[in-house]
Structure 1
Amino acid sequence: MIAIAILAAGRGTRMKSDLPKVLHELGGRSLVERVLQSCQEIEICRRLVIVGYRGELVKQSLIEGKEIADNPQSPPLEFVEQTEQLGTGHAIQQLLPHLEGFQGDLLVLNGDVPLLRAETIKQLMAVHKQHQNSATLLTANLPNPQGYGRVFTDSQNLVQQIVEDRDCTPDQKQNHRINAGVYCFHWPDLEKILPELKADNDQKEYYLTDTVTFLNPVRAVDVEDYQEILGINDRKHLATACDILQTRVKDKWMTAGVTLLDPSSITIDDTVELQPDVVIEPQTHLRGQTAIASGSRIGPGSLIENSQIGENVTVLYSVVSDSIVAENSRVGPYAHLRGHAEIGANCRVGNFVELKNTQLGDRTNVAHLSYLGDATLGEKVNIGAGTITANYDGKNKHKTQIGDRTKTGSNSVLVAPITLGEDVTVAAGSVVTEDVPNDCLVIARSRQVVKPGWKLKEPKK
């Protein structure tokens, strides 16, 4: 049995933010959500999150967040309050009443260390189980370990001592192995000694590392890539983590057959799914729960967010959010699809077109300079330049229905609620306010008047 405890009580004063540090976002997820995600490959029976500063906000964010939605089979989250932040040992002491009688292992993670890979945690747990350790520490060999406590082990990686940086002798400082702050404890062993921890240090805090002195055996496991243990303490660290995450994601997709033109100008959340032979042009950003199918070309200069893009779609200099674009359609340049727009196959949505909560049937074209909101269009519809649906009456939104093969002339206004039947032609410049049946021409504009020989009179001097 494995329980996990995530330390998420701190404010993170160096972030200069009212938002708790663990709720700052990295690649579309909060830091603490990323930590929870890293535990996917081990079987967990309990998940405890230790909260403190703005704890209710942390609870609400996690309960409503992506991690719960993506992993509905995971054990429910349990929240443990740490009213005073008196160190890592003090935080784990708060678990004593919650884990009373628990006989399994406790994995301790930090809510501000978001880059740990699932494979690393899986390896840590495997070593812990294989050797029946009282405690297993994740360690890393840093090129520059200044400021970090050093971990000293024997030839079998059994921990002999942990020495804080300020207490190290010059010889000890030559050791580059540091404590990553990730632990697995056999809970019955840890439970016995937690009440004995003392705050005999300058910070007057209870350190979880002090438990190592009383546990046996304690083993170290080195992380393969030391970047995984980067902690987020300020905005610079957050930017560094973003760069690391982007490198991982881009390497993954290029290895899988995706072409990234100028990768340094592209950002891709690790929640995005791409198929082989997708081409991502420069200055393009893919976010959230986005999926792009084979053969599609996105960008340059496009933003796709929480959207599904079919095969062989082109999106040029456009924004697509919370929408669906079916195969062989073209979007842009300078189009905006939002609010659950759905584009059928072989459609064209051209320059300076905005679609909101609108569905286009197959082979329908909205070529330029139009706004369609709360509308449903059939197949082979052609929307002339400057056509708009007047869907808002100042209080409520109303629907527009347009049948198959209907055409609107330039600068038409369709005042919703309204239905146009199939094979309707709307004359240019019309303001249509009443339903139109099938097979009709509708002209809704003033008759042109021409007055021969008329000119503006000159004013009297």
Structure 2
Amino acid sequence: MSDQLAIVLAAGRSTRMKSDLPKVLHEIHGKPMIDYVLDAVRSAGLNKVVVVVGHQAERVQQALSHHDELEFALQTEQLGTGHAVMSCRDQLAAHNGPVVVLAGDTPLLQASSLEGLVKQLVDNNASAVIGSANTENNFGLGRVVRSADGQFERIVEQKDANEAEQQITEINTGCYAFDSQSLLRSLDQLKPENSQSEYYLTDCPGIMQQAGETVLASCLFTIEEAMGVNTQEQLAEVSQAIQPC
């Protein structure tokens, strides 16, 4: 099997959790939530893993010391998901093949969904595959905008969406498969031209399309898998959905 790289984003603060503990270290049945994500990544055959750390970086690294062969990349400022992935430039430059980018606060992710993302990327010789899900409860989530013939056009974030775009029920799960070199090229072109003044990873697929590369959005995920944990209430909800080991 050729090497497959995963980048797990784990640099965020836990402001809405009302806790000093880094968000990804909040436990579900005695296990940090990021461990569930890393288990899914390994089960999907993603054999090279980089965890992007930032807030309380040393604490997160220490908590993950029991995992073999993890690499860490430091995001020194919180300037968006694109900026987080930029901190992995060295690993991307050294890797030639699929790379999956996902969040460390989504413990319900299934390995089969991640495998599906990579398969779609390889089978279609694509530069990017965006993992999507359908939900009526779409507030706050990035929308997948498609053309009249159903082709992927772009991802628009809630704060940047117009009224029509806010009605779209296909949402971005925050899980992506990229060709590593295409991702590197698109990161070089990212600009913080949005309401948050951040570098959005979600702008990379559009940059690839403008270069004539193949980009797909594939509804491989359930909305439960896409559920990020941002509050104590969501942590309790996810804990109910996960069976104790």
TM-score (norm 1): 0.50
CA distance in 1, matches of 2:176, 2:112: 15
User: Which residue number corresponds to residue 56 of structure 2?
Assistant: 54
Q: Distance in 2 between matches of 1:103 and 1:118?
A: 22
The SS at the match of 1:227 is coil
- AA aligned to 1:239 is A
Instruction: Report the equivalent of 1:242.
Output: 239
Q: Residue in 1 aligned with 2:218? A: 221
2:5 partner letter: A
**2:39 partner letter:** Q
Matched, 1:233 2:226: no
1:100 to 89, 93, 101: 93
Tell me the distance in 1 between the aligned counterparts of 2:149 and 2:100: 22
Letter in 1 for 2:177: C
SS of residue paired to 2:92: coil
Q: Is the 8 A contact 1:151 1:162 kept in 2?
A: yes
The CA RMSD over aligned residues, in Å, is 1.7
Asked if the contact 2:190–2:199 (Cα under 8 Å) also holds between the matched residues in 1, the reply is yes
Per-residue CA deviations over 1:324-370 (Å, capped at 9, x if unaligned) read xxxxxxxxxxxxxxxxxxxxxxxxxxxxxxxxxxxxxxxxxxxxxxx
Separation in structure 1 between the aligned mates of residue 180 and residue 192 of structure 2, nearest angstrom: 21
Unpaired segments ≥5 residues, structure 1: 250-268, 272-461
Partners in 2 of 1:34 and 1:156 — Cα distance? 37
Q: 1:3 touches 1:46 (CA, 8 Å); kept in 2? A: yes
Distance in 2 between the 1:130 and 1:236 partners?
39
User: Measured at CA, do residues 164 and 86 of structure 1 come closer, stay the same or move farther in structure 2, by a change above 3 Å?
Assistant: same
Q: Which residue of 2 aligns with 1:82?
A: 75
Counterpart position of 2:5: 3
1-structure distance, mates of 2:150, 2:216:
6
Q: How does 1:240-319 map to 2 (within 5 A)?
A: 240-245=237-242, 249=243, 269=244, 271=245
Question: Is the deviation greater in 171-180 or in 130-139?
Answer: 171-180
Q: Which has the larger radius of gyration?
A: 1
Superposed CA deviations along residues 178-210 of structure 1, whole A, max 9, x for unmatched, are: 111111110111111212211122222110001
Instruction: Return the alpha-carbon distance in structure 2 between the equivalents of residues 159 and 226 of structure 1.
Output: 19
Determine which of 126, 129, 134 is the counterpart of 1:133. Answer: 126
For the structure 1 residues 199 and 126, does the alpha-carbon distance in structure 2 shift closer, same or farther, using more than 3 Å as the test?
same
User: Is the strand fraction higher in 1 or 2?
Assistant: 1
Secondary structure, in 3 states, of the residue corresponding to 1:210? helix
Is 2:195 aligned against 1:195?
no
C-alpha displacement of 1:152: 1.8
| Stretch deviating more after TM superposition (116-125 or 156-165) | 156-165
AA partner of residue 10 (structure 1): G
Q: Aligned to 1:181, what secondary structure does the other structure show?
A: strand
Q: Distance in 1 between matches of 2:180 and 2:219?
A: 22
> Aligned pair count?
239
- Percent identity, aligned pairs only? 38
Q: Which amino acid aligns with 1:8?
A: A
Which consecutive unaligned segments of at least 5 residues does structure 2 have? none
Letter in 2 for 1:103: N
Higher share of residues assigned helix: 2
Alpha-carbon distance in 2 for matches of 1:152, 1:39: 27
Q: Does 1:39 align with 2:41?
A: yes
Alpha-carbon distance in 2 for matches of 1:35, 1:45: 14
C-alpha offsets along residues 143-198 of structure 1, whole Å, 9 cap, x if unaligned? 22122221023588641122222343333333200111111110111111212211
Paired letter, 2:181: P
Counterpart CA distance in 2 for 1:39 and 1:170 is 36
Matches of 2:56 and 2:82 in 1, distance apart? 21
Residue identity in the other structure for 1:204: S
Instruction: Give the residue type in structure 1 aligned to 2:60.
Output: V
Contact 2:131 2:221 in 1 (8 A): no
Equivalent residue, structure 2, for 1:151: 144
| TM-score of the two chains, using structure 2 as the length reference | 0.91
